[in-house]
Amino acid sequence: MAKLYFRYGAMNSGKSTSLLQAAYNYEERGQHVLLAKPAIDTKGASEISSRLGMTREVDFLIGAADDVRELFAAHDRGKDIACLLIDEAQFLTAEQVDDLFRIAVVEGIPVLAYGIRNDFLTHAFPGSARLLAIAHSLEELKTICRCGRKAVFNGRVIGGRFVFDGDQVAIDEGAEGALADAVEVTTYESLCGSCYLEESGGRLG
């Protein structure tokens, strides 16, 4: 039986890099893979991009109301797909994660989903919560905080300051130069528990 895998980590833990490496490993052996990500992730449009500079077009985007199993079937096209890889899986709905589970179990296609567990207020994303509940395999991709400890939280930074209010989803558009000076750009920093509490004044959620 094929499995649903959830590989998660804080920001900058190399999730997209790991996904692209997994795709390369399959294809190096002559196997076909499909890559997808939620459409809400507008950073890079229809690309998966790593912070190391690697990019690749996805085979399909997943809208908020889409049936992932139907999308997969439409792009399978008899290619004998060896694996489905999903980036930014935290943005999926719980129902879409169930679709991934069915693709693995019913269709017999391994599904590798990559994402972060919690938002900037330490609340679980719906997609991540469901993946943690039903994935056959969980793997943490580790990164470090600025203090050198293991990072487990994602701090939201706007205009150079940490913020602890706002919508759950705010995509980092990666503005640079004059644009970054003209607007308050939203970015994220991976933090350990101690540094998160220090920045939040002891607040969790």
Q: Tell me which residues are annotated as active site.
A: 88
Query: Distance between CA 197 and CA 193 in Å, rounded?
Result: 6
Sign of the CA dihedral running 204, 95, 151, 48: negative
Which residues face 188 on adjacent strands?
Answer: 156
With contact defined as beta carbons under 8 Å apart, do 188 and 155 qualify?
A: yes
Q: How far is CA 110 from the centre of its chain?
A: 17
Gap between the Cα atoms of 10 and 104, Å rounded = 25
Instruction: Please provide residue 3's backbone torsions phi and psi, each rounded to the nearest 5 degrees.
Output: -125, 160
How many degrees, rounded to 5, is the angle at CA 61 between CA 21 and CA 44? 65
